[in-house]
Amino acid sequence: MADLDLATTWFLAARAMACGGEPLSMSEEAAAGLFARAILGLDEEVCIAAKDASHMTAHTLVDCMSMASHLPRGTADQVMTGVMMVAYAAASMQPLQVRWASMLASAMEMDEDRFQRCCVNARVVASMLPAGEEAVGD
Amino acid sequence: MTDSSGNFDFLEKYDSRVAHLARQAESYVYSDPDSSLFKLRLMVETMARTLVELEQPQLVDTDLSVMLRSLQRSGLLDRRQAEHMHAIRRDGNAAVHGRDSTTPTALRRLRDGWRLSRWYARMVRRGAKVDQADFKPPVPPRTDSKSAALHAQAEALEEAAERRRHRMREALLLFGEKDDADAMRWRLRGELRALEDIAIVAGEPVVDADFVALVMAMDLEQILEHPSWGHSSSEAKASVETQFTAFKHAHAEAEEAYLRDRAALARAHRPS
């Protein structure tokens, strides 16, 4: 999968999780973004291109699930972990967030064990972030 | 010490302590940028403390970054103001910890402080019509050509660092500076609700919502008990139970709505 598609999948999936709950602080957003960039190996250019407004509005969550279903297993696990981190960074589990995690995991053809492993990883990383994490660019 | 340009005089009637700190920061901006940044940081901390006291008094004694995050989450502090506050906190901390600061940095943060002042005045006195004139950069002292060249060099460095930070933010954050985050939130929540309807009508997917909610509840309880969140076991349990109950309630309501619709449809198509 091209980097732009991966970045598009990531930003749509992470935004959906963020929008399903209470508004995130910038540091929480940045923590998830940093994780994704480091783990998914996305460079700045690709992230900025994926977040371009016209590019984003051309894609729906159904597109996101479709792209997620084509991710290699390891990459899909990383995306799922990052998405769960978005919820965990804000210690939030609103109904729409629960629904999104369920739909995305299923689109990735995960079973319950695999999903739970991603959640454990997300929890560990989220716990390592101080609650008052520095702002972006510090 | 440079004379005050009157940029913060309007603040006096809203919060004299904050106004005093801002004027001090302004007066030190050329002669002692470290002190200027320190005063600005104190000003932001005072602002945050006052606002947190109104909204979440239990967080008053916590770290500045925790208070800022809480203000942002409560909706009092939007992204732009949060960026100004974090920038002042960051550069103020650097000055406090002995990292040399420059006048261009202090001037930028002073302008950030001025932008925040108007918002702050409105926050402490809701509905107040804040009369704030345009920002007037404090008058620089006379300098020789060597100092002017050094100043220009520092300004160029500061500009490059700001550009770098901006680009990093654009790449990292889920929403860009120019994005209409509210519109995006509205759209995505609509799509999520549609997915919820599909799941109820078509049947739960393999990893069903009940299972996800259970896993998330267990994880969140552990996260909230972690020292970085600092909740007691009972607080963490109560918080997670509230969220879990809200999920169960919303889930049951959505299923009930579907059954109602289906019954209505069946009635409409029943042969008379």
Structure confidence by residue, pLDDT tens digits, B195-253? 988 888 888 888 999 999 999 999 999 988 887 777 888 989 998 999 999 999 998 98
pLDDT grade for A132, boundaries at 50, 70 and 90: very low
Of A112 and B171, the structure prediction assigns the larger pLDDT to A112
In this prediction, residue B215 carries a pLDDT of 96
Contact between A98 and B209 using a beta-carbon 8 Å cutoff: yes
Q: Which residues of B touch A134 (CB under 8 A)?
A: 65, 86, 90
How confident is the model at residue A50, as a pLDDT?
A: 92
Q: Which residues of B touch A117 (CB under 8 A)?
A: none
Among A26-30, A69-73, B21-25, B239-243, the minimum mean pLDDT is found in A26-30
Which H or E run includes B272? none
| Band of pLDDT at residue A130, cut at 50, 70 and 90 | low
Give the residue from B118, B115, B240, B62 showing the smallest Cα distance to A91.
B240
A15 in any annotated domain: yes
* Contact map slice: A 96-125 vs B, CB within 8 A: 96-103, 105-107, 109-112, 115-116, 119-120, 122-123
User: Is residue A78 assigned to a domain?
Assistant: yes
Q: What CATH number has the domain bearing residue A109?
A: 1.10.3680
As given in the structure block, the two tokens for residue B29 are 């901006």
Where would I find the H helices in B203-232?
Answer: 209-225
Per-residue pLDDT reduced to its tens digit, B125-154 = 877 777 778 888 888 887 788 888 888 888
Quick one: which of B79, B91, B81 has its CA closest to B35?
B91
How many structural domains does chain A have?
A: 1
How would residue A113 be classed by pLDDT, with cut points 50, 70 and 90? very high
- Tens of pLDDT, residue by residue over B151-198, are 888 888 888 988 888 888 888 888 877 788 888 889 999 999 999 888
Full DSSP string of B121-153: HHHHSTT-----PPP-PPPPPP--HHHHHHHHH
Give burial (CB, 10 Å; 0-12/13-18/19+) of A136: buried
Q: Do A94 and B79 touch (CB under 8 A)?
A: no
Given a cut of 90, whether residue B2 has pLDDT beyond it is no
A67 within a domain of the structure (yes/no): yes
* Whether residue A135 has pLDDT greater than 70: no
> ipTM value of the model?
0.88
Query: pTM for this structure?
Result: 0.75
Residue of B nearest to A43 (CA): B171
Residue A108 lies in a domain: yes
Q: What's the pLDDT at A133?
A: 43
> Whose CA is closest to B58, among B74, B42, B43?
B74
| Contact status of A1 with chain B (Cβ, < 8 Å) | no
Write out the residue range of the structural domain in which residue A12 sits. 3-128
Residue A112: its chain B contacts at CB < 8 A? Answer: 206-207, 211
Question: Could you tell me which chain A residue has the CA closest to the CA of B161?
Answer: A137
Structure tokens at B260: 């109602």
Spans of all domains in chain B:
1-141, 143-272
Distance from CA of A44 to the nearest CA of B (A): 5
Greatest extent of chain B over all pairs of C-alpha atoms, in Å: 99
Written as one letter, the residue type at A134 is: E
Instruction: From chain B, pick out residues whose CB is under 8 angstroms from the CB of A44.
Output: 167-168, 170-171
User: pLDDT class for A80, splitting at 50, 70, 90?
Assistant: very high
For residue A8, the model assigns a pLDDT of: 95
Across residues B255-267, what is the average pLDDT? 86
Q: Band the pLDDT of A134: cuts 50, 70, 90.
A: very low
Q: What is the pLDDT of residue B272?
A: 67
Which residues of chain B have a CB within 8 Å of the CB of A24? 73, 174
| Amino acid at site A103 | M
**Residue A49 · residue A55 · CB < 8 Å:** yes
Residues A103, B195 contacting (CB under 8 angstroms): yes
